[in-house]
Amino acid sequence: MQQQLIKAEKLKAVEQMGAAISHEIRNPLTAASGFVQLLQDDYLSRQKRKEYLSIVKEELNSAERVIQDYLTFAKPSLETYEELNVKSELRQIINILQPLANQNSVEIITDFSVIGFIKGDGQKFRQCFVNVLKNAIESMPSGGYLTISTEFTQSFVTIKVEDTGVGMTNEQLDRLGEPFYSTKGKKGTGLGMMVVYSIVRAMDGSIWVESEIGKGTTFLFEFPTITAIMKKEQTIRA
């Protein structure tokens, strides 16, 4: 069992990620477009046609996955800084992921504190937790439990995400959040956790991870409450 506090500042490279991500999307699109060109040949054998079509499909899926990890909620609007009701935000995200959970026979259990307001960009917050919960569900391909609970104090809202999935080795834990690090082969982007760390950092939050191979993984997130933010601002002004 390893416990680790990963400071959100781990990923300074994130600022340059926009360019890298557009590159990650462009690559498969270029490949797909190349094969579409080949498909325009009238004399292509049935066999080749089938093969090329499946490559095109795979490449398009690949681009789609990058977009999912990065832009699920992106709207063409300016970044917002709003009051977020943690409970209702999490409910929305769970609704989105319920079909994926059903597909993997994952049961989602929730235990939310009544109140809990933090400040941040709603879109980004939802992207962050979609990525975390998606990984948790994907870590349980033959079923399991995903428990999401929240607690709040005057200073912090904590969000705990526990799965009974495959777990991570120490090396995997160390590399968590590294851009393009994935153990999912062609099905992974390795961008999800990087996005998570960058969003949590932007919200002044912290992340703890605990994992054990074959047992599961627990992520703990801590965000300053609105009361805590107001206090801090008063101290700065005074």
Binding site for ligand ADP (CB under 6 A): 131, 135-136, 139, 163, 165-168, 172, 176, 181-184, 188-194, 217
Q: Which is nearer to Mg ion, 135 or 217 (CB)?
A: 135
Binder of residue 139, out of Mg ion, ligand ADP, none (CB less than 5 to 8 A by kind):
ligand ADP
Concatenated DSSP letters of the chain: -EEEEE-GGG-GGGGGHHHHHHHHHHHHHHHHHHHHHHHT-TT--HHHHHHHHHHHHHHHHHHHHHHHHHHTT--SS----EEEEHHHHHHHHHHHHHHHHHHTTEEEEEE--S--EEEE-HHHHHHHHHHHHHHHHHT-TT-EEEEEEEEE-SSEEEEEEEE-S----HHHHHHTT-TT--SSGGG--S-HHHHHHHHHHHTT-EEEEEEETTTEEEEEEEEEBHHHHHHHHHHHH-
Q: Which is nearer to Mg ion, 81 or 180 (CB)?
A: 180
Q: Which is nearer to ligand ADP, 175 or 231 (CB)?
A: 175
Q: Which is nearer to Mg ion, 16 or 183 (CB)?
A: 183
Provide the binding-site residues for Mg ion, judged by CB under 5 A: 135, 192
CB of 175 to ligand ADP, least distance (A): 8
CB of 136 to ligand ADP, least distance (A): 4
Binder of residue 28, out of Mg ion, ligand ADP, none (CB less than 5 to 8 A by kind):
none
